[in-house]
Amino acid sequence: MRNLITGGAGFLGSHLVDRLMQAGEEVICLDNYFTGRKANVSNWIGHSNFELIRHDVTEPIKLEVDRIWHLACPASPIHYQFNPIKTAKTSFLGTYNMLGLARRVGARFLLASTSEIYGDPEIHPQPESYRGCVNTIGIRSCYDEGKRIAETLCFDYQRMHDTEIRVMRIFNTYGPRMLPDDGRVVSNFIVQALRGESITVYGDGSQTRSFCYVDDLIEGMIRLMNSNETGPINIGNPGEFTIRQLAELVRDRINPDLKIITKSLPKDDPLQRQPLINLAKQHLHWEPKIALSQGLDITIEYFREQLRHTSAND
């Protein structure tokens, strides 16, 4: 198989690169390095099965591939709100361009969608049949609505052009290669604790999230691509934790003496987020294997090494 991974140098993309390369497949990694890092895939540079291209998916590109894994889009609030118009363009034009490529070369296409399409949900936990509660004009809309139109494009290409699509809705994922400054709750807490700072919780900490370790997520992604299922299918860990519980787990692993402080909750921040994964269990025979405690230990060691390396170079 010849695979194109957009956003391939990013957090999720680079882990997918590893899995496909280890399986002996050919991989073209496409990234504009807005949030991706060449270092994430540097161990494959020079390998005969690997090609790295610097490219922005909002511009068309011509390639011959069998499968397209469309992961390109900033996924953390800090990054996607930095340039919301660019984020919306990436979701719409990027998906449009990659679907056009899939149609021309007959490639199977997987969209990395998101649990954010459910917005601030009125149904809990969230099944794939739930249509969401999204603010169309809020500060998160560039990403939430961007992914919704990306899903729309996928199904319109399927209906009009028989394009073979797979749509996965990714819930909160964490693990090595997250950026230390990406504003996501797991990396925020770990980096603050390792630096000896107070851990900042937004709101009263009662809002909930479900955290899936990256290896589990990539396994679900590969199973969906290899299946006959179109989706959308939720891929995430159904274990539900409050943000305060997460802060306490991180603090107790790094420095139990650290304080937990609170600040006001950002606008449109969802109060609950938990996937129903019945479809993934039934059709993909997939469910997460790595507990939050185990995944946190691995992620903490990754960030500890990153911060140690940064300090040594200062």
Active site members = 143
Pairing mode, if any, of strands 173-174 and 67-70?
A: unpaired
Cβ-based burial of 200 (10 A; exposed 0-12, middle 13-18, buried ≥19) = middle
Question: To 5 degrees, how large is the angle CA 17–CA 21–CA 27?
Answer: 65
Give yes or no for a contact between 189 and 247, defined as CB atoms under 8 angstroms apart.
yes
Give yes or no for a contact between 54 and 28, defined as CB atoms under 8 angstroms apart.
no
Please report where in the chains the tokens 């049949």 appear, as a residue: 129
**Strand (E) positions, 57-185?**
67-70, 108-114, 165-170, 173-174
Whole-angstrom Cα distance, residue 217 to residue 106? 26
Distances (CA, A) of 147 to 23, 49, 57, 114, 152: 29, 31, 15, 7, 9
Q: How many other CB atoms are found less than 10 A from the CB of residue 133? A: 12
Token pair belonging to 3: 């695979």
Give yes or no for a contact between 7 and 73, defined as CB atoms under 8 angstroms apart.
yes
Give yes or no for a contact between 116 and 140, defined as CB atoms under 8 angstroms apart.
yes
28 membership: H or E segment, kind and range: strand 26-31
Tell me if residue 164 falls in helix, strand or coil.
Answer: coil
List, in order, residues 6 or more apart from 259 with CB less than 8 Å away: 198, 199
Query: Which of 183, 187, 222, 212 is CA-nearest to residue 275?
Result: 212
Please report where in the chains the tokens 């919301």 appear, as a residue: 84
